[in-house]
Structure 1
Amino acid sequence: MKRCRAFQLETGQLVENVRSVCRGKGKILVGTKDGEIIEVGEKNAASNTMINGYTQGGIWGLATHPFKDVFISASDDGTIRIWDLADKKLLNKVSLGHPAKCTSYSPNGEMVSIGMENGEFIILMVNSLTVWGKKRDRSVAIQDIRFSPDNRFLAVGSVESAVDFYDLSLGPSLNRIGYCKDIPGFVIQIDFSADSKHIQVSTSTYTRQV
């Protein structure tokens, strides 16, 4: 056996392990561990990603940008992915190292927050996808995470039947400024009032509390 030619998969994204290859009519289809199907031209070696996907587990987090046609998803495979709604394609992905359970954009579109299965939450800057701050005050999964309408506060709801609050104006140290505990059932969803002064919480006991 002698190698005749090698192809570099230039997709603009990190390509996980190749799992299958199919050749025919001047093109090669490549299937990856990341659930992607990539088409490669034999003559020009150009790569075209036809399908993007996740590697394992469910997609738990989903949030739309407040004024752009993009959305973000978060999954058990430890990544968040940003998608273009109009072109129906993957724009970027970030590996977080732990399963992600929820995500949300700030109302001004400058930040995105992600709640993790291990109790940690992370805030990224949208333009650069760099970490602005991260914190872990709980040891169980974060179920929902929300910015207040005035972009000042972050509410983090967990399986510990609690909601923690953080004042983002105090900087990336993310010191907890308060919390609500002993909520009946674990937190499923959080909503702020329009004036950012109150929240309502939906729980696993099918109750809504304000």
Structure 2
Amino acid sequence: MNKPVPHASRHSKPAFPRRSRIDAQTSVFIQRFHFKSAAARTPTAGGGILSVTTFRPGIKPLVLMVDLQGLNDGSSLTNAADAAVHHVAHTAFPPLGADHRSATWVELDSDGNFDLMHPLWPMEKPLQGPQLSHPSVSWQPVRHEGMSRTLQAFLAKFPELGAIVWDEAAVVLKSLQPKTPPGLPQD
């Protein structure tokens, strides 16, 4: 597995949002947020949704969104998926000039299952800012060569960026223990 360059924050509680470079070409944007309800459109910092977005030229961006339901005082990631995807598209992609519609989106639910998220983006101009419309989201299991919805399936399906995304998410998950929901995979 690719090991990211150590960050100073690995020895303390990570600060969010955090942008870092893994190597000369790979950037990661990490944030934690939550929504007070499924109808809420503006997130609050901290809480039960962890987002790790990885960019490398020539490869589709990969976004892993982790549902930390046990740490959430509001809506689950599944119930707030449209607003959560909108928030990540609006915050992680514009600084790098990347198009959120080209990304692969994956949810790790509170039971430890990996699912592809398929945002259906309304007709819009890319990177339009705060007026960016909310997508509707559908899901399907992450599958690879007989494996389904597991960490192994995720890593095998996304060999270029999956290990980087998972390593970064695992650092945050470890910092949250023992509060991390029991269904999530351990490193």
Give the greater-gyration-radius structure (CA): 1
TM-score range, shorter chain: 0.3 to 0.5
What TM-score do you get using the length of structure 1 for normalisation? 0.31
Which has the bigger relative contact order, CA under 8 A and spacing at least 6? 2
Q: Which structure: greater helix fraction?
A: 2
